[in-house]
Amino acid sequence: MSMPKGSNAQVPTTALRVELGWRSGPGVPDADASALLLVAGKVRSDSDFVFYNQPVHSSEAVRYEGKREAGGRVTDTLLVDLARVEPSIETVVLAASADGGTFAAVPDLYIEVRDAERDTVAARFESAGATVETAFVLGEFYRRQGAWKFRAVGQGYGSGLAGLATDYGITVDEPQHAAPAPAAPVVPPVTAPPVTSAPPPPPPSAPPAAPVRLTKVTLTKAAPSVSLTKQGGTSGALRVNLNWEVHKQFTGWGSKLGRAIATHADLDLDLCALYELSDGSKGVVQALGNAFGDLHRPPYIHLDGDDRTGAVTSGENLTVNLDHTQAFRRVLVFVTIYQGARSFADLHATVTLQPQHGAPVDFSLDECTVPSTVCALALITNTGSDLVVRREARYLVPERGVSPQRTVDRAYGWGMNWTPGRK
């Protein structure tokens, strides 16, 4: 049974799954769950804000788990462990923000609190009557006489996630338009005062903390995927860059593998992409065999060149033409060691996906702990209504006599026929 607005209910001090849900359909905006941990009605710092770009609180009491879609409904979930909430925190605000419209166009919006272990409903609030709101505080957990309670709030905002976050003390990084410089005032000449010794300058103040960025997306193990559709990045060119740094000497993997990583001059990594188009055709874009692809004809993917330095300004680059998004079913970006090393061990790499329109998406590769010569980096999937990037960061170990390309094909079920190739 749904709670009326303003009512409260006691909840167990345990791990709770907070589910934001709504009915999907044509023209329905996406929505995102978030949480703010408050002391006296404000956050202590920007780190007390948990959302899709900052998915885990430092206390690990609140974690953003992400979206699921099934049976015509979408859910976005937070995991809140009230037993781990710091004693100074008085309130955990549970919010929702709409992307691409207002909540008037989001049908059957609700928030539900479930005991994560027993999977029983502890509280539920169905929000109705929205008009121009683009963000809502749907509910909150608050302490009362040593116990935790949930309150159904239903307070709307017309300023989106940024406005809601700012209201609770979050510093949001948003583009600012410079105001025109005021005209210089006309100052009449005055007699100079006598020269006196100037007081010592005040000590420099600590630099302000970096503001929360609602646009930049960093993928992690805890939050491995992001919607390019939601970020507005479904047209123009999507540039995929891999840059890396290696130690000049490495003697890991014992005597069998000996020296695993060579010098910058010797190491040659190849950025590649397996693609499957909506018409069922499949293929690979790679330097091997000069299969550099084409940006304006199928497969609408082009490998820019073959770099051996790993420099941030160049590295390996691959471009995807998102003006032909409907032509794609899935694209798997991966990297192989062509020469100069026998493993990715001691390789420190960063992957950046930069849409022409929308927020950049980046992530780091984990340290390699297996004798791998091929790593799946990112999987781009077109679901028909959404274009999703998923961080893979998956090191694979080819069997004897099996190429790295065939190894990644088998791991992801591409089903292609492979023949030897050269650069």
pLDDT of residue 330: 97
Q: How far apart are CA 83 and CA 15, in angstroms?
A: 7
Name the strands in the sheet holding 387-396, side by side, starting at the edge strand that comes first in the sequence: 225-227, 387-396, 374-382, 328-339, 268-277, 282-285
CA-nearest of 79, 393, 353, 56 to 227 is 353
The H or E element containing residue 229 is helix 228-231
pTM over 0.75: no
In angstroms, the CA 377 to CA 270 distance is 12
Phi then psi dihedrals of residue 160, to 5 deg: 70, -170
Give me the pLDDT at residue 40, please: 95
Could you please report the per-residue DSSP string of 53-105? TB-B-TTSSEEEEEEEEETTEEEEEEEEEGGGS-TT--EEEEEEEEESS-GGG
pLDDT tens-digit profile of 281-297?
999 999 988 899 999 99
pLDDT in tens, 298-345: 999 999 865 544 443 357 899 999 999 999 999 999 999 888 778 888
- Percent of the chain scoring above 70 in pLDDT: 81
Instruction: Please tell me the predicted confidence (pLDDT) of residue 85.
Output: 96
pLDDT of residue 306: 55
Which pLDDT does position 254 carry in this prediction? Answer: 35
Ranges under pLDDT 70 in the chain = 1, 173-210, 213-216, 245-266, 305-314, 346, 348, 421-423
How buried is residue 187: exposed, middle or buried, by Cβ count under 10 Å (0-12/13-18/19+)?
Answer: exposed
SS3 label, residue 231: helix
DSSP letter string, 295-355: SSSTT-EEE----SS--TTSSEEEEEEGGGGGGEEEEEEEEEEEESBS--TTEEEEEEEEE
Q: What is the pLDDT of residue 176?
A: 43
- CB 292: neighbour CB atoms within 10 A? 16
- pLDDT value at position 52? 78
Nearest 5°: the CA angle 337, 351, 53 is: 150
Instruction: Give the per-residue pLDDT at 157.
Output: 93
Span 32-45, pLDDT tens digits: 999 999 999 999 99
> Who's near 139: CB < 8 A, 6+ residues apart?
94, 111, 113, 123, 125, 150, 151, 152, 153
CA atoms within 13 A on the CB side of 87: 1
Q: Which of 331, 338, 324 is nearest to 414 (CA)?
A: 331
* Nearest in space to 334 (alpha carbons), one of 269, 383, 280, 283: 269
Residues 182-208 have pLDDT tens digits of 555 555 555 555 555 556 666 555 455
Q: Nearest CA to 243 among 267, 222, 261?
A: 267
Query: Given this model, what pLDDT does residue 345 score?
Result: 80
